[in-house]
Structure 1
Amino acid sequence: MFSKIFTSALFAGFLAGLIAAALQLVFVEPVLLHAELYEGGTLVHFGAEAVSAHQDLGPFDMVRNGLSVLFMALVYVAYALALVAFMSIAQDRHGATIDGRHGILWGIAGFVTVHMAPAFGLPPELPGVAAADLLQRQIWWGCTVVATGAALWLVAFGKGPVAWGIAVLLLLAPQVIGAPEPDVFIGPVPPELGSHFASRALGVGLAAWVLTGLFAGHFWQRETASGAARAAA
């Protein structure tokens, strides 16, 4: 069983991570590099003449972008390991069908759990913006991920209004409590760049999670079929 989980997750996460890295380099990295010009003082948002929204971001950095690709691949392998593990539990305990098509739903659930729900309180941030204490944000993020994941599991596999009521409470609780906020709002980066970065980061996250679920379901189904064929032989 572990071999099937690991193999499915490795292929699914690595492929999804490579595609996510490509999307990040094309759509997210330029916004981040632009913001770094403000963070470093090369550009000034207030108190100076208006600057162009289309800046020369310099040559392609092979080392930086290569490390970004490797990091994204490793991150999505880890995500895929968790996703495939839960897929296995759902199949064993609840008879869930696991294939590429159903894997897309699992991927969307993963995106909501890890990205969308936490982003309600802690949206993706550019460097240099005001932020609350790091430990407090990490604790809130972790609790939100656990609560959201448990809620979606209850929605999918819980039985009766009690389970669904608990799911609603788990979804709402972190947002009602609220994420830690900074005491003041400061930062050298134009808010237009901040909103652009957040929307693109979430969009790439959605695409990557959908692909992770699709690939994970596909490889899980393939490994299951291969195992059955070997057993029959």
Structure 2
Amino acid sequence: MMSRIFTSALFAGAAAGLIAALLQLYFVQPVLLHAELYETGELVHFGGAAVSAHQDVGGIDHVRDGLSVLFTMLVYTGYALILVAAMALAESRGHEVAGRQGIIWGIAGFFIVHFAPGFTLAPEVPGVAAADVYARQVWWFATVGTAAIAVWLIAFGRNWVSWGIAAVLLLAPHVIGAPEPDTFTGPVPTEIGALFAARAFGVGLAAWVLVGLFAGYFWQREGQRAAQAQTA
């Protein structure tokens, strides 16, 4: 069982992570590099002369891009490991798990890790005002944890009590509220921040759908191989 989990997670995470990294390099990284120009003061927006929205963000940094690809693949392999372990638990309770079901699992993963915390604590570009990092991390982990429990209760709960608890868990972190900065200031134009948040969510959704699809596919394939080995 453990070998099946690790093998499925490794293939799924590496494949989805590679595609996610390429999407991030094309869609997200240029926005980050543009924001860094304002963070360093190379570009000035507020109170200055009009600045073109189409800036040259510099050449390709192969080392930085390579490390980004590697790190993204490792991160999504970790996500895949958690997802496949949850799939194994669901399958042990009689639920079918395959590629098509994996897409739904992937969407659920996106909701838990990205959308639930991002609903109140949106993705941020460098240079924007932000609250204390530790406080935000605590809130983020708490929100992801409660969202994970809530999604599990919604998917596998059998009565209104379970679904009611799930609703409370989903709402509680946002009713409490995420840590906020004392003042909303920063050198980065709001348009760049909005574009970054939108693209971060879009790439995140695509990546999680791929993680779920690959995880479900490889989990089913490894299960079939194990069954064939036992009957051989």
Q: TM-score range by the shorter chain?
A: over 0.9
Q: For 1:97-126, what per-residue CA distance to the aligned partner results, in whole angstroms no more than 9, with x for missing partners?
A: 110000000000000000000001111000
String of CA shifts for 1:16-38, please: whole Å, max 9, x gaps.
00000000001001100100000
Alignment of 1:110-121 (within 5 A): 110-121=109-120
C-alpha distance in 2, partners of 1:151/1:47? 46
**Which has the larger displacement, 84-93 or 214-223?**
84-93
The corresponding residue for 2:65 is 65
Structure 2 distance, partners of 1:181, 1:57, is 30
Q: Which residue number corresponds to residue 15 of structure 2?
A: 15
Q: Does 1:207 align with 2:210?
A: no
SS in 1 for 2:53: coil
5+ residue gaps, structure 2: none
Q: Normalized against structure 2, the TM-score is what?
A: 0.99
Q: Does 1:97 align with 2:116?
A: no
Q: Distance in 1 between matches of 2:229 and 2:221?
A: 12
Give the distance between the partners of 2:14 and 2:121, measured in 1 at CA.
Answer: 27
Matched, 1:30 2:25: no
Question: How far apart in 1 are the matches of 2:103 and 2:42?
Answer: 43
Show structure 1 runs of 4+ deviating over 3 A.
none
- Structure 2 equivalent of residue 142 of structure 1: 141
Matches within 5 A, 1:187-226: 187-226=186-225
Aligned residues: 232
Q: 1:114 aligns to what SS in structure 2?
A: helix
- Structure 1 portions without partners, runs of 5+: none
Is 2:173 aligned against 1:174?
yes
* Secondary structure at 1:43 match in 2: coil
CA drift at 1:160: 0.7
Identity %: 67
Q: Partners of 1:52 and 1:90 in 2: how far apart?
A: 52
Distance in 2 (alpha carbons) for counterparts of 1:207 and 1:57 = 25
In the alignment, residue 231 of structure 1 is paired with which amino acid? Q
How far off is 1:55 after superposition?
A: 0.7
Report the TM-score when normalising by structure 1. 0.99
Aligned amino acid, residue 157 of structure 2: G
* TM-superposed deviation, 1:47: 2.0
> Following the alignment from structure 1 to structure 2, what is the Cα–Cα distance between the partners of residues 99 and 41?
50
Amino acid at match of 2:226: G
Q: Which residue of 2 aligns with 1:123?
A: 122
CA distance in 1, matches of 2:8, 2:192: 37
CA-to-aligned-CA distance 1:11-66 (integer Å, 9 cap, x gap): 00000000000000010011001000000111001121101111111111101111
The alpha carbon displacement at 1:7 in A equals 0.2
Once the two structures are TM-superposed, the CA of residue 195 in structure 1 deviates from its matched residue by 0.2
